[in-house]
Structure 1
C-alpha cells in the first residue's frame, strides 16, 4: 500500500486533512458564489466586473499580509491543534455574516449599500481565518508525520485543497445563491466537529511573548527567515507562482463572460478544470520524486506551465462567438470548435503548476528546525500575499489601461520564466547544502 493511502487512514493525518478539506471548500463556495452572483447579476460592464473580482481577491489576501507574522508566532509557540479548534469555531460566526449578505443580495435588499459590504466583510474575516490556519496545515506535518511521509502529506494537503476548490466552485456555479448561504453555515459546523479530533501538537520550543505590532513583527519575520538562501529562493519562487495564479483567477469570470461569451457555469467549469489539474500535479510529483523533497523538477514544470498559458492566450484570441448572442451554457460551450483545446490548455497550466509548487512547500517545512516551521510558512504567506496584491493591482491597471483580458494572460507566461530561473538557482543551493537544517531564530 502506498504512503499516500496509508496516511489517509491515520488519525495523526486524517482529522487535519478533513478539516482542511472542509475549510477550503467553504472558502471557495462562499467566495465564488459571491463573485459570480455580483459579476453576472449586479454589474453589467467589463471594467466594473474585473474591478470587483480584483477587489474581492485583494480583500481576501490582505489579512495574510498583515497578520501572518502573528499567526506564525502563535503556531510555533502554542498548541497547533488548539488553535485549529478556535479558528474553526470562529468560522461559524463568519459564515453567518456572509450568508446574511448572500441572502440579502438574492432578495434584492440594499444590495450595493448593505449586502455587498456584508459579503466583503465576511470575505475579509475568512481571510483572517485562513491566515491563522494556513501556517498550521503545513507546519504540523513534520510534527505528526515521519520524514519520508512529509512530501506525500504535503501533496495530499495540496491536492485536497484543490479538490475542495473544485467542489466549492461547482456548487457556487450551479446551485442558487440562497442554498450556497445555507451550505456555508453547515460546512463550518462540520469543520468545527472534525477539528476536535486533530491530535495535540504542542510547541517544540519554550513559549515566548508574542509581538502584536504587526508591521514590526512582519518585517522582522521576513528578514530573519529569508536570510538563508534556500528559504529565500523557495519563498520567492512560490510567490511568483501565486502572482501568476492571482492574475489568472481574477480574469476567469470576466474573461468567460466578455471574451468567450460564456455563462457563470462555464466560469465555474474553468475553476473546476484548474482545481483538478493542480490536484493531479500535486500527487504526480510525489511519485516522480519517490517521496524525496526536492526542487529538481521545478524549472521544467514552470516552463511547461508558461507554454500552456501562451496556448490558452492564443485559443482565447481565436475564439469566435456572435456579439450580442445569449451567453453559452456548458453544453453549448463544449460544442464550440475551440473548447477542447481551451480546456486542455487550462488543464496543462494547472498540472504543471501543481508539480512546481508542492515540493517547494514541502521544502520549506523540512529545511528548517521543527520549532520554526510555522513561522517560516507565515513568512512565506506574507511575501505571497504581497505578490498576489501586486498581481491584483497589475490586473486592475491593465484593465483600466484598456489591455484586452486575453492579452493580460501573457503577463503570467512571462513571470513563469522568472519562476523557472529561481527554481533552478534553488535546486543548485539544495544540492550544495543537502541534509543541512537552518536555524533561523537562534
Structure 2
C-alpha cells in the first residue's frame, strides 16, 4: 500500500500542501465569521437568514463558473508556482477589505470580499490538483490528492471553529468581529510566505488530446469556457467523472448554505452548534479522504463511488427524519451543552459525520482520476473544465434552494434535495467504474 505520509517531508509536496491548507483555513475563517456575524448579529428573520446564506454561497461559486477557463489556460501556459505567489498576494488585499467589512458590519463590503475570494480560489483551484502529477510519481498522486483533500477539510475545521469563536457577543447582546478581522489578514500573510517555497512547475509539453483546445490564451470568457467544456466533456470517462464530482459539490453547496439557518431555526440552537456541524462535516471528509486511499492501496479507481454516494443519501435521509421531529426552543437558543443533552442530539452529529466520510470516499478518487488520465500539459484545463461544470451545478443548486425557501420550503425539507441528488451521483459513479474497467 502506498504510504502518502512521506510526501509531507518533501519540498515537492509540503509547500503546496501548506499553502492550500492556509488558503482553505482563511476562506472558512472569513466566511464563518461573516455568516455568524450576519445571522446572529445583524438579521432577525429566518427567511432573510436563509436567503443571505444562499446568496453568499452563490457569490462565492460564481467566479468558478465565469473564470475557470482563463485560470486553467493560465496554469497550463505558465509556471504554476509563479501564479500561486500572485494569487496569494491578491489574498492579502482581499482580506484587508473583508476585515473592514467585519469591523464595520457592512454587508455589501463583506459580500464583495467574498466574491473576490471566489475569484482568488478560482485561479488557485486548478493548480492545487494539476501541480501534483508534475511533482509526484504516478503511484503517489492518489495519496497526494487524498492528503490535499484531507488537509483542506481539516483547514475548514480550524477556520470554521476559529471563525465561530472570534465572533463575540457584547454584554448588550450585540456581536462584534474585530479579532476575526485581524486573524484573516494574518493568515493571508502567512499563506503568501508558504507559497514562496512552492517549487517551479513549468508548462509541460506532452502530446495534446485530440479535440482539446490548442494551448495558449483565449481571453474571451464565454467562448473559452464553452470550448473547454465541450472539448473535455466529449470524452466519456471525463464526462462521467466531472458530472459525478459536480453532483457531489451541488449537494455540498446545499448542505453548507443551510447549516447556520438549519441550526438556528430548525434545531433552535446558537452559533456554537452551527460551528460543531460545520466542524463535524470537515472532519468526516478528511477521514473519508484518507480511508479511501487505504482501501484503494494507491491505485486510482471508482469502485467505491456508487456505495459511497448511496451511503451519503441514507445518512441525509436519517438526518432529515430526526430534524423534522425536533423540539422547538422554549425561549432562548440552546448552546452546545444544552443541545447535546437532548435525546438523539448525538445521532444528528453522527449522521453528519457519516455524510461527510462517505463524501470524502466518493470524491477523492475522482479528482485523482481527472489528473492522471490526461497528459500533464492538460491537467489544469481539465480541472478548470471540471470547476466550470461543478460551479454551474452548485449555482443552480443554490438558486433552486433560494427559490424553494421563498416558496415556503423549510430548511429541513431542503435535505430531501440532497438525498435525491445522491442517487444520481451513485449512478454516475457506477457508470464511471464500468468505463474504467
TM-score range, shorter chain: over 0.9
Tell me what 2:104 maps to: 104
Q: What is the match of residue 419 of structure 2?
A: 413
Q: Equivalent residue of 2:4, what SS?
A: helix
What is the aligned partner in structure 1 of residue 364 from structure 2?
358
Match of 1:313 in 2: 320
Question: Secondary structure of 2:12's match?
Answer: coil
Residue 77 of structure 1 contacts residue 205 of structure 1 at CA under 8 Å; is this kept in 2? no
> Displacement, 1:228?
0.5
Residues 319 and 338 in structure 1, CA contact (< 8 A), matched pair in contact too: no
2:232 is the alignment partner of 1:241: no
What is the Cα-based RMSD across aligned positions, in Å?
1.2
Kindly indicate whether residue 136 of structure 2 is the aligned counterpart of residue 145 of structure 1.
yes
Structure 2 unaligned residues grouped into runs of 5+ = 168-176, 207-213
Q: What is the CA distance between 1:301 and its match in structure 2?
A: 0.5
Q: For 1:206-355, what aligned pairs fall within 5 Å after superposition?
A: 208-323=215-330, 325-355=331-361
CA contact (8 A) 1:76 1:205 kept: no
Q: Give the distance between the partners of 1:15 and 1:322, measured in 2 at CA.
A: 46
Per mean C-alpha deviation after superposition, the further-off stretch among 79-88 and 397-406 is 397-406
- Deviation (angstroms), 1:321: 3.0
Q: 1:343-399, CA deviations, whole angstroms, 9 ceiling, x for partnerless residues?
A: 000000000010000000000001111110000000000000000001101111111
Q: Residues 34-84 of structure 1, C-alpha deviation per residue, up to 9 Å, x if partnerless? A: 011101111111110011001110110111000000000000110000000
Match of 2:398 among 389, 392, 398: 392
Per-residue deviation at 1:182?
Answer: 0.4
CA distance in 2, matches of 1:3, 1:222: 34
- Does the residue aligned with 1:337 lie in a helix, a strand or coil? coil
Secondary structure at 1:407 match in 2 = coil
| Alpha-carbon distance in 2 for matches of 1:146, 1:240 | 29
Contact kept, 8 Å, 1:43 with 1:49, in 2: the verdict is yes
Aligned residues: 421
SS of the residue corresponding to residue 402 of structure 1 reads coil
Show the counterpart of 2:389: 383
Q: Hey, what does 1:159 align to over in structure 2?
A: 150
Inter-partner Cα distance in structure 2 for 1:180 and 1:4: 34
Q: Paired residue for 1:402, among 394, 402, 408?
A: 408
Give the 4+ runs in structure 1 shifted more than 4 A: none
Within 5 A, what are the aligned runs for 1:33-48?
33-48=33-48
SS in 1 for 2:21: helix
In the TM superposition, what is the alpha-carbon distance from 1:208 to its structure 2 partner? 4.8
Gaps of 5+ in 1: 106-114, 432-442
Residues 1:383 and 1:186: Cα distance change in structure 2 (over 3 Å)? same
CA offset at residue 2 of structure 1? 6.0
Work out whether residues 142 and 365 of structure 1, in 8 Å CA contact, stay in contact via their aligned partners in 2: yes
The whole-number CA distance in structure 1 between the counterparts of 2:104 and 2:49 is 20
CA distance in 2, matches of 1:208, 1:359: 27
